[in-house]
Structure 1
Amino acid sequence: MLIWSALNGPEDILSFYPEIRIIGRTRFSTVEDMKESISPNFAIRSTSHSNQCLAFNQHTFWSGVANGFSQDGAAESAHICRRLSTQIIKSTRRLEKLSLSYRSALPSQKIPEDGSVSFQQDKFASNIGNEFGSFLDDLYGLRDAINVIVYKILLGKEGSFSTSALKKAVAACELSPTVDLINAAMFDDVDGDLIISKMSTYRGVALHSMGTSNPVTLDSLMIKSVSGPLGKIARLVYPLYDDITQLKEIEAGKSFRLIHNRDEFERFAKLDNHLDGMEFAYDCFVRLLQIAESLGIELRLEPRHIQLTDRDILKATFTDDNGNVVHLERDPISGALKERIESHFQLSAIVNFHQDYRVWNSYFAGYNQRLLVA
């Protein structure tokens, strides 16, 4: 079970429950933030080398790198770097949706008193399965976005990209920390953990072969209890099937013997630990972000920020460390920026210049977000 919390210090409280991992949080700076269906300030717990939220750090970094390539006239490099930045923020938001599906399911569940194990197939399990499959799809896109940059910029290859071509190039490459990370996560079945390769298999089974990642229990959830100083806490698990070899057979369309197989169901149910879907997907996300961070360091890329002056801003919203919000808008008559009063919080800005709006907008939103979490 993974917890997303608005509390400032749940780590101390839940440190007595080793089965529970905290992987991120939503911090609300204003009351208006809490009314939004999509949180304006959503951060994973894993951090970058600069001790920022790893996802936000890499999103803004690659957006700035894309801006630099664009200013230099390197259109293709700008495009693939911007794709990576966009895919990171998409994956972050999809992870938030997956966590919401877990939180929606928990309140209606009861903690098993006798320690029994049961698999529930209901609307909550189906919702989690849908969000899990969607998150895997975004992670797959993130994987490809990183690999294209590795293939074309780091390894200097030309022509169309494919995973098989990347595998050959990785095998021939020496002394590259980023390539080593990719090899361990995707190709090395001797010394690597193949976590991204497994993610691809779960995605293939869920989206192309069966409609679910688990051929034995289908979309189901388990409720387990975790004991500690605060008593028992419900732990929700979306169990992933443990035999990757069998999943590859299903993905390839060679075997479907596991479906409705009672013996295999009983074996799987008796496992001491079941791999949770969100926990696995989160670890995949972090690994991909770490590869992206290593790639930027190895290439010695520097993001370029667009410098704005007051003349460039038509409308803007700023939030300070205390959650105070100031809205500015350019007066059409005097041309001066003036404060305006709004009844709702809005994190937005419109600028008047001819540079790439999308790149600048991600930086401006990031600036506001950094103010929120400082």
Structure 2
Amino acid sequence: MKTHTPNAILERVRALMPGVAVSVLVAVTAMFLSEHYGAPAMLMALLLGLSLNFLAEQGTRTVQGVEYAAKSILRIGVALLGARISAQMLSELGPAMIGIVIGGVIFTILFALWAARLFGRGWRLALLTGGSVAICGASAAMAIAAVLPKTDKSERNLAFTVLSVTLLSTVAMIAYPLLASWFHFDALESGVFLGGTIHDVAQVVGAGFSISPEVGETATLVKLIRVSMLAPVVLIFSLSMRLGGLEDRAEGGKRPPLLPLFVVGFLFLAGLNTVGVIPPSVSDLFGTISRWALLIAIAAVGIKTSLLRMLDVGATAIALIIVETAVLGIFVVAGVHLFR
């Protein structure tokens, strides 16, 4: 039985501090590089973390803290994302555009499961890459990875997915505004296209506001609707694995909760924001804390992952995530053309 005496808590903090401190330092450095050189913060945090993989070797003082940052701080970050979500978002787009966004999420995940079999990859990688492409990039990848059954390839696949969706988002941030112009989309259509296809929130904002403030606001709104799909998708994944007997067992052989606590937190905060309990300033604060928590978590994931092992993921995994990205783009473009 765990004890929670002051001495036990202090010992726990001392054990975690070195690894958490390193993860925070990597996150701060990544943010500095992002703000001064324009590189995506998530990508910088992952790459810097990968270069510090020796700090995750057994016997080093940083192991426990890095593990804590990669799991517990990650869950805090995902939960706080809920404070930016509200039901009022849906009324601002109209049923047709909402249908395109939600349909794109569902179709991409189902396509990922089919394509993974075609490429000879497992269902875990399919759900991880498909969910991250469909919903919100690195944030979704980390949330989905938290409920998938663990294997010796789990950390490698997560690091690969985060790296891939971040790179693809950066390319899309540059290329997709040009495509929106080529397709002769108006402001609403451009916003739905950018927000419905680019993986990470930061790149959606960058792409949208590079066209106009109106497109930027619409794209951000659409992106947040995709983020709101995170909770139901994680619930469906968790339920499916439980029904299939595939979930990891908790300590003592007990089943983990059907809906992870961090997803409950996400839904709770989204509900509070919907009824107007959370002031905009607090919502913005939670959003900032969430971004930092996720940045610290991905730094820790990088530290835990061997670059050589990540490169072993294979060409078919790279092809899989590129094809998923292309399919989502085609689906949204077709939907916008259909309802324009």
Scaled by the length of structure 1, the TM-score of the pair is 0.23
Q: Which has the higher contact order (CA 8 A, sep 6+)?
A: 2
Larger radius of gyration: 1
Scaled by the length of structure 2, the TM-score of the pair is 0.25
Q: Which one has the bigger strand percentage?
A: 1
